[in-house]
Copies of this chain bind each other. A is one copy, B any other.
Amino acid sequence: MRGRVTGTKSRRRGAQLEQAILDAAWDELREVGYSRLTIEAVAARAGTSKPVIYRRWGGRAELVLAAWARNLPVEPEPPDTGTLRGDLHTLFSRIAHRADTMMNEMVAGVMGEAFRHPEVAALLGERLANPSPLTDTVRTIVDNAVRRGELPPVDLPPRVLRLPLDLIRTESMTCGVPAVDETVESLVNDVYVPLLHGLAAVGDAVDQG
């Protein structure tokens, strides 16, 4: 309970109010999605009013990015199935599950606004491109495979570390539905595993040359 007593008008301020608004935005996002999310609805849901929101954020995109930042998923332990393929399958499935419809609609929507608002583009790029717990997981999975001897030692460029998320996002954004298991299978077998072997082979050649 945040309010005091029914009938009493209590007024939240500062961090408490901000959190209430971001919670409301996040709930709204989950319920109606980005494209139907309105500032007015968020304000109503948070029990506040539009100016309060506009005093803090520049618009929908920034508000949603802020709400997203407070609701980042907790990265689970890296999978350890005993095979590279198995670990990657688990990883890709996790990403696909996490990057569900709402998430992708949000990313698409924010992207759309990012083209007109450089500051939004900056925030979004930061969120998507930076090293994250996810890229650490990718690294761990590959390291484990190397340790087991499934792969030669291989150096992973940042872009390759980001690729799992990018691949899943692309799939699910162009299809409009979360990636199905068959898709995950294909991304692992047709793209990511061959890529890792290819990178390892190149590393080999350099080592030997």
> Which residues of chain A have a CB within 8 Å of any CB of chain B?
33-36, 101, 104-105, 108-109, 111-116, 118, 121, 124-125, 128-129, 157, 159-160, 163, 166-167, 169-170, 173-176, 186-187, 190-191, 193-199, 201-202
Contact = CB atoms under 8 A, between A and B. Distances in A.
Contacts of A157: 186, 190-191
Contacts of A197: 197-198, 201-202
Contact of A116 (B33, B169, B187, B194): B33
Contacts of A116: 33, 35-36
A112 B108 contact: yes
Contacts of A105: 112, 115
A156 to B, nearest CB: 9
A208 B117 CA distance: 54
